[in-house]
Structure 1
């Protein structure tokens, strides 16, 4: 079990989501609808739905929105979403994975390809970069829930494999098949709902990028993240705190 890591900067910047709240709720609603449609609306018998709802609650999504997303799954003529994974390269040769939920495969592919191409990237074939990542469970709690040492011990007892704590969050990683059990154990142990609990693509190794590459890379990620069909974006890049400060000036 490792201690603090720099993995937080590998995914799309969480702070940017604050100004895109309605877009975030839309993506969460889509995941809830798809999960409920695939496994049924009962959270007790549908693990994917349970995790999706936990994440929505952790992001302060209104209860009415959650119920509406579940009810939408029971409509007979509602649109069907396909889950598609796109892989490619960003500025600096970074590896990027984009997860999509779309009702129009052609639109999604075209817009995502353009997002890569116009921002210094290149969309590749499925499998071109995913071998550099591992599919794992990720659970995120607010830092105020427990101290770093307390969360480390609780995560260890719950069966987690790695913990990264900083001033804002505790990020707990576990084997993908253990995500449900670890999430439930930590929710009981902390008495708090996680901000997020889901399967992610975690890079096995990271590339530290310079200021100019980081600027181009984050612009590309912002463009992709703004697409309605895009649910999640992962990469193997690492940005130092010094560069992040420069970018925020």
Structure 2
């Protein structure tokens, strides 16, 4: 996702009621990861990262345990991850990642948001060459030199390391998720979040007026209960 939108979203998340907005999304991420790779975090890097992300957002242990129990239960909802694509004004391309137990409901809701807010739905795969699927980890910035850390992480599949002040952003190939996650653990880095993201290959710059014009669309998408993440090609 474009960095300008990341900052705007971070500000918005600070205003969200965590119990009603953030926690259910984090619980879904835990449940999906556990169903895909098992409920043992030591053996499931995606689950380990989903739990670390939830803890970083101060999600109670009871909520985390409940999500794991749902993943284990035969009567739990069958949650699917599905993405939707659209184009909006000013050359903005959008990928919406959802986790849902009702694909018909989610598809109808997302398409309605697109249509009511100036976006045109696209066939899935239309944006395949405009974004790259990467694993992205956010960690607390360690005391050791960034150059030294970068050399150590290259052995685990690091492609890019960005210094973001209090945090560092670790980026690797799609299939390096487990390897990089293990490297982060071995180097004793404090993980704040870790997931697979769609990063734009050629980000575009927008002025403040253009971003404000798109804000209602992006906010509506993020507010939907089934939406896990919204990615754009905004720089």
Matching of residue 236 in structure 1 with residue 233 in structure 2: yes
2:200 alignment partner in structure 1 = 203
Q: 1:147 to 1:225 in 2, by over 3 A?
A: farther
- TM-score in terms of structure 2 length: 0.88
Report how many residues are paired.
Answer: 232
The range that moved more, 48-57 or 132-141, is 48-57
Matching of residue 141 in structure 1 with residue 139 in structure 2: yes
Paired with 2:37 and 2:86, the residues of 1 have a C-alpha distance of 31
Match for 2:128 among 103, 127, 130? Answer: 130
2:86 alignment partner in structure 1 = 88
8 Å contact kept, 2:142–2:189: no
Secondary structure in 2 matching 1:207: coil
Correspondence list, 1:175-214, <5 A: 175-189=173-187, 191-214=188-211
1:216 alignment partner in structure 2 = 213
1:102 alignment partner in structure 2 = 100
8 Å contact kept, 1:55–1:195: yes
2:73 alignment partner in structure 1 = 75
- TM-score in terms of structure 1 length: 0.84
8 Å contact kept, 1:97–1:234: yes
Deviation at 1:178, TM superposition (A): 1.4
1:8 alignment partner in structure 2 = 3
Alpha-carbon deviations, 1:26-57, whole Å to 9, x = none?
A: 11101111222233222233333222212222
5+ residue gaps, structure 2, are none
8 Å contact kept, 2:2–2:231: no
5+ residue gaps, structure 1, are 1-5, 239-249
Alpha-carbon deviations, 1:175-209, whole Å to 9, x = none?
A: 122122222212332x3431111111111110101
2:64 alignment partner in structure 1 = 66
Secondary structure in 1 matching 2:129: helix
The range that moved more, 74-83 or 22-31, is 74-83
Secondary structure in 1 matching 2:40: coil
Deviation at 1:134, TM superposition (A): 0.6
Paired with 2:40 and 2:14, the residues of 1 have a C-alpha distance of 30
Q: 1:46 to 1:237 in 2, by over 3 A?
A: same
Q: 1:183 to 1:145 in 2, by over 3 A?
A: farther
1:244 alignment partner in structure 2 = none
Secondary structure in 2 matching 1:120: coil
